[in-house]
Every structure is written in structure tokens, then in C-alpha cells.
Amino acid sequence: MSESSMADVEFVVRIIAQTAVDNERAFGDLDAVVGDGDFGYSLARGFEIVLAEWDGLDRSGPSVFLQKVAMIIAGRVGGTSGPLWGTAFLRASGAVRDKAELTGGDVVAMLRAAAEGIKARGNSDVGDKTLLDALIPATDALEAELADGSDRATLLSRVALVARRSADATTGMIAKRGRASYTGERSIGSPDPGAVAIAVILERLNDEWATGETPNQ
């Protein structure tokens, strides 16, 4: 078992979980503009459980660890967020099954698998004003930076920047999925909460990776 790969996976998941909890109100306020306002609450409650059960999660491999997180999210996050985010973690887990040492290519594969899972579960795609509108461009940026041989600091900075720009770009879109889709053109003028969440998570990952300090630990 590669301690470095497992530690990196733990670090990233911890960032995701803590960011969801810390931004409960901000994400909820965004969702309340044209949605039902429960996105921040639902995500925070699920990831609170991940953090509460953190020490007992199976760490025998990255795939097993991500699968356990997926089960918690799918079972404990309410609304549409649970199935979507749970599926994302489960598909990411499947992309690296039986692997101990993860490469940059494996990370891209995990994110691609997560995105495909979200597409299938939510019957959505890029352009529908969902988290995919930030996740997929960020994954494309990651793959490009890896191909260019960028160092980790440059890579993370670029990925976070692309995610933020992509999330901001959803402001001008019409929502085609979820409760916001019921509002039609009124959904124009505010960014998608899920896309913003992806951007905030990647920005925090970019900020905190350099310190090597896991949040709240």
C-alpha cells in the first residue's frame, strides 16, 4: 500500500468534506435564489457524518476508502445531492480499483468516471447549468497541465482558476436540471450552486495543499 497515495486521497476528501461543512450557508443561499435552498444543508449534513466517522473509515486502499465515503454520502445526504455526489465518489472508486499507487492519469480517470456517473444519474451534461459545468472543464485543465509536465503548484492553481471561471460562466445559463429548471429564464443571473461548490473546493485545495495541513486536524 502506498502511504503517499493514500495520504493524498485522504487529504483531498478531507478538504471536500470540510469545505462543504464550512460553506453550508453560502451554498444554501445560492441555491435559494432559484432552487429550494437545501443544497448547502444537505451537503453539509452528509459530510459532517464523513468527518464524524473519519477515524473508522477503511484505509486498506484508495478505492475502498472512496467507496466507504460514497456509501455515507449516498445514504445520508438528502435531496438530489446524495445520489449525485455518492455516485461521483463510487465511480471514482471504481476507476482505481485494486490500485495502491495513483498517478496523475489515475486522478483524471477518477474525475472522468465521477462526471460520467453524474451525467447518467442526473440525466445531465455540460451546458445544463450543473456542477458538471465546472467539474469537466477543471478535469480538462488538469489533463492538459499533466501533459505539459506542470509542477503541482502550477497545476493546482490552473485547475482552480478554470473551475472558478467556469462556475461564474453558469450565471448566464438557463438551468435545465433540478428545481431551478422550473424557473426557466429566471434562472439566468445567478451561478449554479454545485458548480460554485466545485470551484470553492478546488480553490481551497490549491490554497491548503502547499501548507500540508489538513483542515481542522
In a domain, 33, yes or no: yes
pLDDT tens by residue, 6-35: 999 999 999 999 999 999 999 999 888 877
In a domain, 80, yes or no: yes
pTM for this predicted structure: 0.92
Residue 174, pLDDT score = 87
Tally of domains within the chain: 1
Name the nearest CA neighbour of 25 among 213, 201, 197: 197
Name the nearest CA neighbour of 80 among 24, 42, 136: 42
Residue type, 10: E
In a domain, 66, yes or no: yes
In a domain, 215, yes or no: no
**Element counts in the chain: helices (H) and strands (E):** 9, 0
To the nearest 10 degrees (0 to 180), the angle between helices 81-95 and 104-122 is: 140
- Specify the CATH number for the domain of residue 7: 1.25.40.340
Alpha-carbon distance 70 to 63, whole Å?
Answer: 10
Q: Is 120 exposed, middle or buried (0-12, 13-18, 19+ CB in 10 A)?
A: exposed
pLDDT tens by residue, 79-91: 778 899 999 999 9
- Give residue 24's domain range: 3-209
In a domain, 81, yes or no: yes
Alpha-carbon distance 136 to 195, whole Å?
Answer: 10
pLDDT tens by residue, 70-116: 999 988 776 778 899 999 999 999 999 989 999 999 999 999 999 99
Under 8 Å between Cβ of 108 and 120: no
In a domain, 187, yes or no: yes
Instruction: Say which DSSP state 72 is in.
Output: H
In a domain, 21, yes or no: yes
Q: 56 to each of 53, 85, 123, 152, 201, how far by Cα in Å?
A: 6, 21, 34, 30, 24
Question: 58's torsion region: left (phi>0), alpha (psi -120 to 50) or beta?
Answer: beta
Residue 214, pLDDT score = 47
Q: 83 to each of 142, 159, 178, how far by Cα in Å?
A: 25, 25, 13
User: Which residue's entry shows cell 432552487?
Assistant: 35
